[in-house]
Amino acid sequence: MKVKFMDFINNLFKSIFKSRKTVKLGIYGPVNAGKTTLANRICKDWIGEELGTVSRIPHETREIQIKEKVKIKNNSKELDFNIIDTPGIATKIDYEDFMKFKLSEKEAKTRAKEATKGVIEAIKWLENVDAVLVVLDGTQNPYDQVNITIIGNLAARDIPVLIIANKIDLKKAKLKRIQNAFPQYKTVGISAEKGKNMEDFYEALFELIK
């Protein structure tokens, strides 16, 4: 009887103080869609600091970047996230493209080499995430094979996906085109740089995790 009572007390304490699960939130997408800008926006909103540097030169993020224990609140709910910002996925990397941004040949080749490793890492990390934000540039054609391959792989692994149509502050952006391309997923239009529509984004994020 005494043992049973102690078990009951132990279980009660465990249920009260058990550590809340941290959601490993991957940020995936093609190159220059604004993944790091979104990661920075989320981190700035909730912990007041940024995660990584952004640049107009493609493949600025060439390593996985993680910010742990980012506590996000939405209405009465609160969740801990590990924000995992991944390098942009591409099927080709040409060092000569970087030289158009005034990088020397040596710098361009180094960047290309690092970028290829980054893509490999990003794909490997698909195994380690609980949910994914697929960030697409709202001004670009969403039917790119990279987008379809990323989303298809997440579906095959049963990982919840929220599609982010970024850069909707730009004139050329077409939210509807992205929604039509992936009708089976919820799509939220935002501007990560300007912080536009972030309330809807956090609402959709909590719906994704529930």
Partner 1 sequence: MLTLQFVPYTEIRELSSLGRIRKLLNLAKENKVVLLEGRLSKEEEAELIKTTMEEINASFRGIELAVVNPNESQDDVFTKFKATLASTLLGNKQGFTIIGPATVIKNIKRDPNKLQLLMKDAGSRSRRSSKKRRR
Question: Which residues contact partner 1 by CB under 8 A?
Answer: 89-94, 112, 116-117, 119-120, 123-124, 126, 141, 143-146, 148-149, 152-153, 155-156, 180-181, 183
C-beta closer to partner 1: residue 49 or 158: 158
Cα distance between residue 192 and residue 200, in whole Å: 12
C-beta closer to partner 1: residue 43 or 119: 119
Cα distance between residue 186 and residue 86, in whole Å: 21
Q: Give min distance, CB of 199 to partner 1, in A.
A: 30
- Output the six-digit token pair for 6: 């102690």
Cβ-contact 90, 28 below 8 angstroms: no
Cα distance between residue 40 and residue 187, in whole Å: 20
Q: Which of 37, 27, 24 is nearest to 190 (CA)?
A: 37
C-beta closer to partner 1: residue 126 or 175: 126
C-beta closer to partner 1: residue 74 or 116: 116
C-beta closer to partner 1: residue 93 or 133: 93
Q: Give min distance, CB of 119 to partner 1, in A.
A: 5
* DSSP 3-state of 179: helix
Q: Which of 36, 49, 27 is nearest to 122 (CA)?
A: 27
C-beta closer to partner 1: residue 46 or 125: 125
Q: Count CA within 13 A, CB hemisphere, residue 190.
A: 30
Q: Give min distance, CB of 91 to partner 1, in A.
A: 5
List all residues 6 or more positions away from 192 whose beta carbon is below 8 Å from its beta carbon.
Answer: 34, 37, 38, 40, 41, 135, 164, 166, 167
Q: Give min distance, CB of 70 to partner 1, in A.
A: 27
Q: Give min distance, CB of 168 to partner 1, in A.
A: 20
Q: Give min distance, CB of 94 to partner 1, in A.
A: 4
